[in-house]
Chain A
Amino acid sequence: MTQPTDARIAAAMTAHPRAFRDPAPVRIRKIALWVLFIGLIAWCLWDFNFSPERIWTGLGRLGRVASFMFPPHIWTTWEDWAEILNGLGETLSMAFLGTVLGAVVAFPLAFLGAKNINRIFWLRMSARRGYDVIRAFETLILALIFIRAFGLGPLAGILAIAVSEIGTFAKLFSEALENTSRRPVEGVVASGGSRLQSIRYGILPQVAPVYLSVILYNFESNVRSGTILGIVGAGGIGFLLSDRISAYRWDEAWSIIFLIIAMVYLIDGLSARVRTRLIGSLERTA
């Protein structure tokens, strides 16, 4: 192996130009894409009024707001603590009940969307489009509608989470049903089982761990979205947080944000433990 000198590299470049640079059309396309991208960003910066002075004053205010973080505000009276803890509890309840209700409703619906169970093409397709339509509704917007019907408070939040979860769960559950192996089903049928028994003993044990992990994962994400439903008035900790921010009580607001982070951490840790225990044991028996 001889040393690559500059002269030899130059010689190689002239001998094999295509190995060292893109052909002209590719180059032009790349440059055009970059110009478009940078141009769009520049236009957005101008349109959204990202002026340096505005950024500067904003950062100054942000620093002032952030300075309220330390020392953190500690509530001293039991009334204040009760209010905050009740808010956290409401958020968790909304996530839990919303997830449970969504999963219960989605469980039978999922069979409609699975190719290996529902063989009627048009019914399956319309069921799947139905799930997509439900999923297109934002939880927050559903919460706004439900507040009109059920009043302010956690109930609207529970139902908003439940309805939007029906779509997600039904889609994921039916995908899990389609990913099962056919062999246990054939085994049940071969030993004289009916169609219902083949689903009960052939398919359900296979999907149970998948269902559980999907439910747990969505519960975690619903705890996160449950924190913001309060901002529009659907109960939970978000209500207290937006109230403190609009009253410029930043020290309390930061403490609430810390508590939210701590709660999310705790839930993630708990659900990881539940996941390893429950799903591990289910997969062993399945």
Chain B
Amino acid sequence: MSLIAEMTAHPPNAGRSAVAAFEEEFAAHRRAARRAWGIGTAIFLILFALTAWLGDFFDVRQVTNAEGEREWRWVIAAGIPRLGEYIAQTIPVLRWESLGADFAEWFWRWRVWLDLLLETVLIAFMATTLGVIGGFILSFPASRNLAPNAWVLWLSRRYLEIARTVPELVWALIFVFCFGVGPMAGVLAIGLHAAGALGKLYSEVNENIDMGPLEGVKAAGGSWFDQIRYGAVPQVLPNIVSYTLLRFEINVRSSSIIGYVGAGGLGQEFRTAMSFQEYTDLSALFLIILVTVIVIDFASEKLRHRIIGMEGSPA
């Protein structure tokens, strides 16, 4: 609004009422905001109380204190010193004068662990491969703009949803029962879960593509498969590669714990160390997994930048 129009719309003598109107409106706004804030806080507090009750957050138990009397203590407060003790036990004895020997003592099972670490990474690799194949194939019928018809769309979307909603560990429990203990169950479990997650991401990429090339292929007489192959795939490839690398990192983390239910990899050593009270083994395993995850994250970051650099920036 220009100044002239402003002057004609609100002559100066009407200033007071305009200010009053503004003040009123502002006060109304403040009231509404305060009310919304109050309602939000109330809902939050109710939820907090309910979940704290369900989750035993303020649980109290009887403990014996130093004087030998029974007293009630809040579980969290009582547990923190125990947590400190537990973590202190996992720290190995490293003396400066016998550092090499102490390290050898700390990583005494290094041959076994190295073997299992390789297995862990290979499980992640195989699972990612399976996940990419499954997710890639299903992502095209699962995208709204590419699906040949409605029921194919519905079916493939439901399948992907179920595959990614059920956690890897649950699939692993089922597959360990079916295929026996070992890395095969882990590969299938993580692969199935990854296929669900990747299929969704890929189909979101597919829904954002330019439909022009597909129409071109169709005009030249291509079938649905031709349209996908020559019209859609070249457009989504860079994104698919970077999502796949990200998923590989996630799968390495998953495969390092999936052994806990008997599906291969380093996770089974965690379980053994816990049950045999080998506390220093736990910290050694932590370190191994930590270093592996950091190295793989770093390497795939580098690879991703190279690929994105080659393909142009991802859409």
Contacts and interface: CB of A to CB of B under 8 A. Distances in A.
A264 B165 contact: yes
Contacts of A232: 260
Contact of A260 (B47, B55, B165): B165
Contacts of B142: none
Interface of B: 33, 36, 47-48, 50-52, 54-57, 59, 75-76, 79-80, 82-83, 86-87, 119, 122-123, 125-126, 129, 161-162, 165-170, 173-175, 177-180, 182-184, 187, 253, 256-257, 260-261, 264, 270, 274, 286, 290, 293-294
Contacts of A112: none
A157 B123 CA distance: 27
A222 to B, nearest CB: 12
Interface string A145-159: 110111101110111
**How many of chain A's residues touch chain B, expressed as a range?**
35 or more
A133 B80 CA distance: 20
Given A94-B55, A261-B166, A146 B83 contact: yes
Contact of B173 (A93, A141, A146, A231): A231
A155 B166 contact: no
Contact of B274 (A144, A228, A231): A144
B75 A150 contact: yes
User: Dominant SS at the B interface?
Assistant: helix
Interface string A265-286: 1000000000000000100010
Contacts of B286: 137, 141
A154 B55 contact: yes
A149 B170 contact: no
Contact of B174 (A47, A65, A138, A141): A65
B158 to A, nearest CB: 10
Contacts of A151: 75, 79
Given A44-B125, A58-B180, A260 B76 contact: no
A241 B169 CA distance: 11
Given A58-B179, A149-B86, A155-B57, A93 B52 contact: yes
Given A138-B256, A158-B57, 20 more contacts: A48-B123, A48-B126, A48-B264, A54-B184, A58-B180, A61-B177, A86-B54, A93-B57, A138-B253, A140-B257, A145-B87, A154-B55, A225-B167, A227-B170, A238-B170, A241-B170, A242-B173, A245-B173, A245-B177, A281-B36
B162 A261 contact: yes
A82 interface: no
